[in-house]
Amino acid sequence: MNFSSQIYENPPKLVEDLARSMLQYDVKPEIEVFDVAMLYNAKELADRGLLKRPCQVQFVMGIANALPARRTLLEFLVGELKDIMPDATWSAAGIGRHQLEVNRWCLERGGHVRTGLEDNIKFDKDRARPQQRGAGRFVSPESAANMDGMPRAAVKHAVYWDCRGLSAPDN
């Protein structure tokens, strides 16, 4: 994988060795997909019994030289996942300024939502993320349905992390 400033290597033998170790220690990984080939590689590992089923796949979007944060691309990826691993669950992570937008797409498509802000130094386009951990509040799906005009069906099984109105500390 070619990130903007480095090459991140995962040779097939290393991935297989890690998968075997996870099986040995009863660890079920979240499979992070940074490009489309990784999805098909995960299926092949699961078919060979090296990954526990059902798999949990997270599509990572918004990193340079990887998957761009595009709704149509997420729809394609979810469709492919449902076609090749219909029992899998999924989520998507929008990196940086894409986090909230990708979270909304996940809710609308019935996926799981990543709520952590640890990968992002900004809350949104204009605001730095709060420095304290756990900032924000959980609200019910009913309350989430009323936020920002979200359709109720999009949040049927969700707990929404409401960080609206948070601002960066003064220091």
Q: Burial of 132 by CB count in 10 Å (0-12 exposed, 13-18 middle, 19+ buried)?
A: exposed
CATH code of the domain made up of 12-114:
3.20.20.70
Q: What is the pLDDT of residues 108-119, one digit of tens each?
A: 998 988 765 555
Instruction: Tell me the whole-structure pTM to 2 decimals.
Output: 0.71
Residue 124: per-residue pLDDT: 62
Residue 89: per-residue pLDDT: 93
Residue 160: per-residue pLDDT: 40
Q: Cβ distance 126 to 153 under 8 Å?
A: no
Neighbouring residues of 42: CB distance < 8 A, sequence distance ≥ 6: 31, 33, 51, 55, 57, 85
In the chain, the percentage of residues whose pLDDT exceeds 90 is 43
Give the Cα separation of 111 and 143 in Å (integer): 19
Alpha-carbon dihedral 82, 35, 18, 52, rounded to 10 degrees: 0
Give the Cα separation of 21 and 47 in Å (integer): 17
Pick out the chain residues at pLDDT < 70: 1-4, 115-125, 127-171
DSSP H or E stretch at residue 16: helix 12-24
Q: Domain residues of the chain, as ranges?
A: 12-114, 130-171
